[in-house]
Structure 1
Amino acid sequence: MAKKLNDIQNLIEDENFLFHNYFYENIDSDIENFINTLKNRTKVFIFSGIIRDYFLFKKHTPFRDIDLIIEDDLILENIFPSLIYKKNSFGGYKIKFDTVEIDLWVIKKTWALNQGQLKFEFDYLNALPKTTFFNFSSIIYSLNDKRFIVGIDFLRFLRDKKIELVLEENPYPDLCIVNSFYYSDKLNLSIGDKLKSYLKSNYKNNEDYLENIQIKHFGKILYSDECLKERIERILPTANNV
């Protein structure tokens, strides 16, 4: 992988059409029809794990979930009468298909923009990469325009191969702590200094909730309280120097 950020940006732009084909080749017809119906009514964007894994591994990994953002606030229940879904407290949809779940958000209802953490009245799309917690999520893909919208933090992620913090404010700090170790293990990547400092600062206030959030999010406990405490202690010397 290139070391200069401009070179990495160019490499990503070279993948614009290849990624579009890759995505559609790996979804079922019912999901394709759902997404194409949305595209006829608004702009649709992919974000998070699918893009990250595409650039890290360059091979097909079965899609278990797909994260989408739409530009306009559509009433999905009226467009898709047989839709099986749940709504969360932030207005997002969790939609169930046979083998895949889709998490769908409206741009202006994404947490950081909706809660006023960042103010971008006229440029929501370029703002989105700045509103993610992890740097590996600081990129979105427009399915309508067949192009990536890339944040500088994602470029640094590909260059440095480290998981790092982008936007500290988050409604679920307990889940952020667990996910920091989960993705570090899953992707075999180290944790950056800013994220280590965040873990150090937030662990004490959230340590009583870390097993419960794992059960809620993963359906099981991946890391015991003792395991997480040991891992936090291991990163403290570095975090103290940040």
Structure 2
Amino acid sequence: MEVRYKRVLLKLSGEAFAGDRGYGIDPNFLEYITAEIKSLVDEGVQLAVVIGGGNIFRGITGLEIGIDRATGDYMGMLATVINALALQSALERLGGIPTRVLSAIEMRQVAEPYIRRRAIRHLEKGRVVIFAAGTGNPFFSTDTAGALRAAEISAQLFIKATKVDGIYTDDPVKNPQAEFIDEISYLETINRGIRVMDHTALTLCMENKIPILVLNINKPGNLLKAVRGERIGSLIR
């Protein structure tokens, strides 16, 4: 079966990297996500990845210990670089996949500086590109960084990886009566206050006509089904 989406941006949360540990990086998840990503690369998908840093440090939590918001956000950006390097290592070691980390904060010893044309060239050469350090600016989420990079590289699909099957009318973990939403528009997502991602990220995707697919990353094969255009998860468009 041919893939429907040739260039895709995958947004992974830092919490996913922690696995059952709750903190740090779970080697089992690295092995699992490497296999999932390899299945896309083997189909010729040009894949870019944005990772959060919540498994190491979340900027807003710094306020609780007296760290100002901007400094906390920079610390969170550095946490995403750690996750990006871990994923790069796993992809190259376990999957044999050429991978490049591009950082919005310059740190040439460990990552290439983010340059849009360079990122696109890497994708065209079949390399997985990992965007690290968010947008390089405080007060912006990694969802917004993902939406921005998706627009810059002309991604055909934004995949928001979660631990649930898609979008619900309420938190399905807390409310078993929550109803599943198969498809919804950008504006309705915003107007109904559905907290799938922040409004800045949603608006960026809406303005650039990038569909958002929310799916459960913990179900093997979901990513491949997504790029093939199979009905899975919840679609925002």
With structure 1 as the length reference, what TM-score do the two structures score? 0.29
Greater RCO, CA 8 A, separation 6+: 2
With structure 2 as the length reference, what TM-score do the two structures score? 0.29
